[in-house]
Structure formats: C-alpha cells, structure tokens
Amino acid sequence: MTPPLRAVFALLLVALTLVTAAGGLVVDNADLTPAEVKLLFAMREYTLTYNEYADRLPGWVTGPFEDEKVNLYVTSPDGVLVIGITFHDRKIVQFDAKGCPDPIVTVTTDSGTVEGVMVSDRPFDTFRAAMRNGTVTIEGNNLLGVLRSGMVRFGLWTMDVLRL
C-alpha cells in the first residue's frame, strides 16, 4: 500500500470512528422539495449543537422523550413535511423524512418557527414563546404520550407563571 493510499484509508477509519462515537446520526430522505431538504439538513446540523447541550436542559423537558420517537409536522407553502425524530439518552440519533411509526407524541409547527429556534441565541426561550403563542403544539398519541407531553406543558406553564 502506498503512503498516500494508507493516509486516505486511515482518514476513512477515523471518520467512521467519529460517526460511530457521535451516535451515528442518520438522515433518511424521501421525495422532498429543495426547501424541505434544506430545512432537514439545517435541522441535522442544529441537532449536533442540541446534542452537545441536551444534558444541560431541564430533565422535565428532555427526560419524557429520552428513548422515544416523535413525529414533527412542519407546515410550509410546499405542504407538510413529516420528520420522525428518534431520541436515545436524551439526544437525537435519527431523522426520518417519512416519519416514525407509533410515535409517542406529535409536534406541529411551521418552518419559520423551526428556523427561528435554530438561529436564536436563546433557543429554549424561543421554543417557549412559540408554545405560548400557539405556533408549536405538542399532542400525545397514546396515554403515555399524553402524560409526558402534559408534564412538559405544565413545566413550561410553571416557568411562565414564576417568570423564570
């Protein structure tokens, strides 16, 4: 094996190791419009930042969905993009542009709100404001999902009442 070929091979092994160590974030595409692809990949990039800080978020926010699947319905002028999000240990490990079967909850919002959260200096507060003004809704799909999403809504309401 020549030295340049060995270097390329070594870099490939390092890259594969880093992907595995990072949790192997996967994005599974369906037939998407260019705007939907752009949003999906922006969310993927933002997820890397989210995952770094997930352990710092309140447990009542991330805990109820730490090992669950959630469907995110994002409305736009192009229609509705359904993104299945799989969490493991409070971190996002997979996006699926076809949605997840049997998600615990469904979150509905618009593309502007998703983009606003991603570019915000205070994304948690931006998300809270979107919940308050109704541009983000969370709906449980089964009894456990109803209870867990209710816990999150109650926590956000309590923060608002206490002005935290």
The CATH number of the domain covering residues in 25-161: 3.30.1050.10
The DSSP line for 115-146 is HHHHH-SSHHHHHHHHHHHTSSEEEESSHHHH
Residue 3 has pLDDT above 50, yes or no: no
Q: Compute the distance between CA of residue 152 and CA of residue 60 in angstroms, rounded to an integer.
A: 6
Handedness of CA 153, 130, 34, 23 (dihedral sign): negative
Q: What is the pTM of this model?
A: 0.74
pLDDT in tens, 22-41: 444 444 445 777 888 888 88
pLDDT at 2 over 50: no
Confidence at residue 30, expressed as pLDDT on a 0 to 100 scale = 53
The residue ranges of every structural domain in the chain are 25-161
Percentage with pLDDT > 70 across the chain: 81
pLDDT score for 23? 45
**For strand 26-28 and strand 69-76, is the pairing parallel, antiparallel, or unpaired?**
unpaired
Query: For residue 151, what pLDDT band results from cuts at 50, 70 and 90?
Result: confident
Residues linked to residue 92 through DSSP beta bridges, in sequence order? 87
